Amino acid sequence: MSTEQTALPADNFFNQGGKGLMSWLTTTDHKRIGLLYMYSIAIFFSVAVILGLLMRLELIAPGKTIMEASTYNKTFTLHGVIMIFLFIIPGIPAVFGNFFVPLLMGADDVAFPRLNLMSWYLYIIGAAIALSTLVFGEGSADTGWTFYAPYSVKTGTNVSTSVFAAFVLGFSSILTGLNFLTTIHRMRAPGMGWFDMPLYLWSTYATSWIQILATPIIGITLLMIIAERALGVGLFDPSLGGDPILYQHLFWIYSHPAVYIMILPAMGVVSEIIPVFSRRRMFGYKAIAFSSLAIAFVGYLVWGHHMFTSGMSGPARIIFSILTFLVAIPSAIKVFNWLATLNKGSIDLQPPLLYSLGFIFLFLIGGLTGLVNGALATNTHIHDTAFIVGHFHYVMFGGTGFGFFAAMHYWFPKMYGRMYNIKRATRAFWVTFIGFNILYFPMFILGLEGMPRRYYDYLPEFQGWQVVSTVGSWILVTGLIMMFVNIIRGARKGKPAGDDPWNGYTMEWETSSPPPLENFHQAPVFKKPTYED
Amino acid sequence: MENNHSHSISDKTYIFIWVSLLILTFLSVEASFVHFRAFAVGVALFIATAKAFIVAYYFMHLKFDSKIIGIMVLVTGIVFLTFIILTFFDYGFREPIV
Amino acid sequence: MNETITSHAVHRDDEASKIGMWLFLFTELLLFGGLFLVYTIYRHLNSAAFANAAGELSVLFGTINTIVLITSSLTIALSISAIKNNNAKRAKIMLWLTLIFALIFMINKYFEWSAKIHHGLFPGMEHFMSLPPGEGLFFLLYFFMTGLHAFHIIAGSIFIAVVIAQLNKSKITQDDYVLQENAGLYWHLVDVIWIYLFPLFYLIH
């Protein structure tokens, strides 16, 4: 990288394994693949953020402001597809998972390095197909990221291509999960038993199981949509005896567990960060490990809560509602254990911890409003309103997004061997955090007052909160820009960080920063105890 | 190398397994012509599952593989059954459309 | 649990390959699982129509294909026990037999499908569109599921062909045959899926 700094260890993976673009595009080094994911994800994230900004701008006043209704429909569809399939689902697992799963267990790579590279290519191909709908065919899809039948089968827009893109991206996600599961099973350093694993590995393990067992369902469902559009007759067509609601079942059988694909890795990151910055061992290690598995399993049982007003049978609604409340238990176990770890710790408020605390705060709001959605009676009132939009942005962006930022600030010195500016990072955090709340909190109020989601127009009485929310989006984006500028500057010009700047005790800190090609200079042996005394 | 564990099934056993699979196939064809009414699907699926189990246990070597793979198969089966059962809570209790 | 690190720079872990293969099989199972779920629900909603429509399928064809696939499962299992006994020649013969059975299966399937298409039962055709509700769904699912299964037969055959090529190059040996084992696992899975497709489509009366 830059030349004026010589303090970085010369044998790091940026230097080893070839130079130039081709060496990166053909690499099987898990660290480089992680970075490839990070750079591509950053691009798609920025695109989707811009789409989000445009939507907020449209909503600053009732009626048409900057775009037509149909453009608005396409914008929120693309915003959703990119954010979900290109940012949040691959986000933490593909970037930090790839980089740190082997490092955390003292391995030299993942179990199947070539397959790993193939996942990245599938990801890029899927992304290219998704974005190609903007240019080719009859315009990008306008169905929302959920592609609900029967509209997705009837609309003239380019649904088949978008759906195929999601199918390819699903494959990429499956292969990543498969790789991590095998890696965790087979490649832990000598001496590291299952309950010696860092908690991030536990959350990755649970996540990967969801990727393996739920993603195929969406794959086949999307193929059904494509077949239906190609043949002109289909499985969800009531005139043939089919049932459009079955599509919703199939869709959410995947997409609800997918929510846990998104949030579990973030929880894992927070579970790594909190003990390090409160200088205490993790309170309730096993409880957190098992709660990851419990969330993964219970996550399979609750998909129906997306469909309470769809015409599903009464008993099904009651059962899904009860099961939904069960998810709160393992989630709360985690939150309480994090707080118990912080309690009486010697807290060092560095940016990674700030983002983690931001995560806990926002996830708490997201989680508690989730209970409002999960109750049958209140759900009827707020279904398909801005309340839902507020809820899932608190969980997905406030949760996973902030978890991603926390991981970025925590592991950055290991990845680049340099340190970003701590003061600037702290400032960026506060701007982002405040902007976030100004942007999304009004949505709860608007939703309760009856503002539907996915509408480009609204009644004049909603305008006050809509303006607040739009202003919030500007603050949030300012914060994001501050954060990224600081990070990029740190990667290029930051001071060398040393091997273990945070005084961490997991295995990734034992090697040099950035790590050498095969991670460790000599084969590491796991030293007990890390968490339990 | 312990990787290539040498437990193996003799060819004779394989042929025996094959014959039993054939017998089960004929059994399920025959059973389909007997009117079990409501149980017909159950009988068919029971025989199919027996066959699948035999294939997995002997042909796919679950019998000799590490236990963890067997557990994984079980988890996968449970998750899939969960999908079916929970979906039936909807369709089993739908009000008929008049 | 820990591996014996061999002197080679590239360390080989057969158990990892096997776990990876099984995990992949799980995704295949659930890919079909989604379709089985759709089948189950629609059969529940249209049970009489499904029984009617199934009358169009030939139990004889279905049974023959079931026997063919089960036998091919036997031959591939025998090929693996042959390579374990260092009999590469016999392993290859057994794999070729497996491929021949796969071909017979596909030929059978071809005749079956052509007959249905000849009757205008392919989704979108005239006769198909005039079917009472429910029967159309049956044929849609029939073509979708057996089609996807046939696609897997082709993929599995390619996998087996690769294994034969590796055997020819002596890249698969008595000490290193995990690729062949994985091909076997894949092939058995294709068999298992057919074991369920057969009664669900051919044996409803």
Interval A167-178: pLDDT, tens? 999 999 999 999
Nearest CA to C44 out of A379, A223, B90 is that of B90
Residues of A in contact with C23 (CB under 8 A): 177-178, 181-182, 212
Q: Is the pLDDT of residue B3 over 60?
A: no
Q: Is the pLDDT of residue A529 over 60?
A: no
**Confidence category of residue C123, pLDDT binned at 50, 70, 90:** confident
Residues of A in contact with B92 (CB under 8 A): 313, 315
pLDDT for B98 equals: 53
Mean pLDDT estimate for chain A:
92
pLDDT for C6 equals: 37
Residues 6+ apart with CB under 8 A from A192: A105, A106, A526
Q: Is the pLDDT of residue C94 over 90?
A: yes
Q: What is the CA radius of gyration of chain A?
A: 23
List the chains bordering chain C where 3 or more Cβ pairs fall under 8 Å.
Answer: A, B
CA dist., res. A483 & res. B17, Å (int): 64
User: In CATH terms, is domain A25-510 a member of 1.20.210.10?
Assistant: yes
Q: Is the pLDDT of residue C5 over 80?
A: no
CA dist., res. A363 & res. A361, Å (int): 6
pLDDT for A133 equals: 87
Nearest CA to A501 out of A327, A284, A277 is that of A277
CA dist., res. A92 & res. A6, Å (int): 31
Strands A418-419 and A495-496: antiparallel
Nearest CA to A56 out of A414, A530, A473 is that of A473
Q: Of the ranges A226-230, A271-275, A443-447, C93-97, which one carries the lowest mean pLDDT score?
A: A226-230
pLDDT for A229 equals: 86
- The ipTM of this complex is 0.92
Q: Is the pLDDT of residue A438 over 70?
A: yes
Read off the pLDDT of residues C67-79 as tens digits, 9 standing for 90 and up.
999 999 999 999 9
Q: Which residues pair with A419 in a beta bridge?
A: A495
Q: Do A300 and B94 touch (CB under 8 A)?
A: no
CA dist., res. B13 & res. A29, Å (int): 45
pLDDT for A2 equals: 44
Q: Do C13 and B3 touch (CB under 8 A)?
A: yes
For C14-36+46-202, CATH number out of 3.40.50.150, 3.40.50.10310, 3.40.50.11310, 1.20.120.80 equals: 1.20.120.80
Entry pTM: 0.93
Residues of B in contact with C24 (CB under 8 A): none
pLDDT for B1 equals: 36
Helix/strand/coil percentages in chain A, nearest 5: 70, 0, 30
pLDDT for B97 equals: 60
pLDDT for B64 equals: 86
Q: What percent of chain A has pLDDT over 90?
A: 79
Q: Do A178 and C23 touch (CB under 8 A)?
A: yes
Q: How far is C119 from chain A (nearest CA, A)?
A: 17
Which comes out higher in pLDDT, residue C3 or C96?
C96
**Tokens matching residue B66:** 């590490």
Quick count: other Cβ atoms within 10 Å of Cβ A463? 14
**Confidence category of residue C10, pLDDT binned at 50, 70, 90:** low
pLDDT for A16 equals: 86
Q: Is the pLDDT of residue A532 over 60?
A: no
**Confidence category of residue A10, pLDDT binned at 50, 70, 90:** confident
**Confidence category of residue A138, pLDDT binned at 50, 70, 90:** confident
> Are A440 and A390 a contacting pair, CB within 8 Å?
yes
Read off the pLDDT of residues A81-132 as tens digits, 9 standing for 90 and up.
999 999 999 999 999 999 999 999 999 999 999 999 999 999 999 999 999 9
Residues of A in contact with C37 (CB under 8 A): 217, 249-250, 253
Q: How far is A210 from chain B (nearest CA, A)?
A: 10
pLDDT for A311 equals: 87
Read off the pLDDT of residues A185-212 as tens digits, 9 standing for 90 and up.
999 999 899 999 999 999 999 999 999 9
Residues 6+ apart with CB under 8 A from A243: A236, C41, C42, C45
**DSSP annotation of A418:** E
pLDDT for A237 equals: 80
Q: Of the ranges A55-64, A284-293, A338-347, B35-44, which one carries the lowest mean pLDDT score?
A: B35-44
pLDDT for A412 equals: 96
Closest alpha carbon within chain A to B95: A313
Q: Do C203 and B28 touch (CB under 8 A)?
A: yes
Q: Do B90 and A313 touch (CB under 8 A)?
A: yes
> Are A142 and A70 a contacting pair, CB within 8 Å?
yes
pLDDT for A235 equals: 85
Average pLDDT over residues C186-198: 97
**DSSP annotation of A158:** S
Q: Do A235 and C141 touch (CB under 8 A)?
A: yes
**Confidence category of residue B71, pLDDT binned at 50, 70, 90:** very high
A315 vs B68, B83, B89: nearest CB? B89
**Confidence category of residue A447, pLDDT binned at 50, 70, 90:** very high
pLDDT for C83 equals: 94
pLDDT for B32 equals: 86
CA dist., res. C68 & res. C71, Å (int): 5
Decide if A25 touches C, using CB distance below 8 A: no
Alpha helices by DSSP H, chain C? 14-45, 47-54, 59-84, 88-118, 126-129, 135-168, 178-202
> Are B60 and C185 a contacting pair, CB within 8 Å?
yes
Specify the DSSP element, H or E, that contains A131. helix A113-132
**Tokens matching residue A150:** 């029967």
Decide if A359 touches B, using CB distance below 8 A: no
Residue A422: half-sphere exposure toward Cβ, Cα within 13 Å: 13
B14 vs C41, C66, C77: nearest CB? C77
Specify the DSSP element, H or E, that contains A239. none
pLDDT for A533 equals: 38
> Are A379 and A373 a contacting pair, CB within 8 Å?
yes
> Are B90 and A252 a contacting pair, CB within 8 Å?
no
Decide if C41 touches A, using CB distance below 8 A: yes
Decide if C45 touches A, using CB distance below 8 A: yes
Chains B, C: CB contacts within 8 A come to 120
**Tokens matching residue A294:** 């419990």
Closest alpha carbon within chain C to B29: C203
**Confidence category of residue B4, pLDDT binned at 50, 70, 90:** very low
Q: How far is A249 from chain B (nearest CA, A)?
A: 7
Nearest CA to A158 out of A81, A234, A86 is that of A81
Decide if C60 touches A, using CB distance below 8 A: no
Using CB atoms and an 8 Å cut-off, which of residues 245-264 of chain A contact chain B? Answer: 245-246, 249, 253
> Are C86 and B13 a contacting pair, CB within 8 Å?
no
**Confidence category of residue A461, pLDDT binned at 50, 70, 90:** very high
C78 vs B14, B48, B68: nearest CB? B14
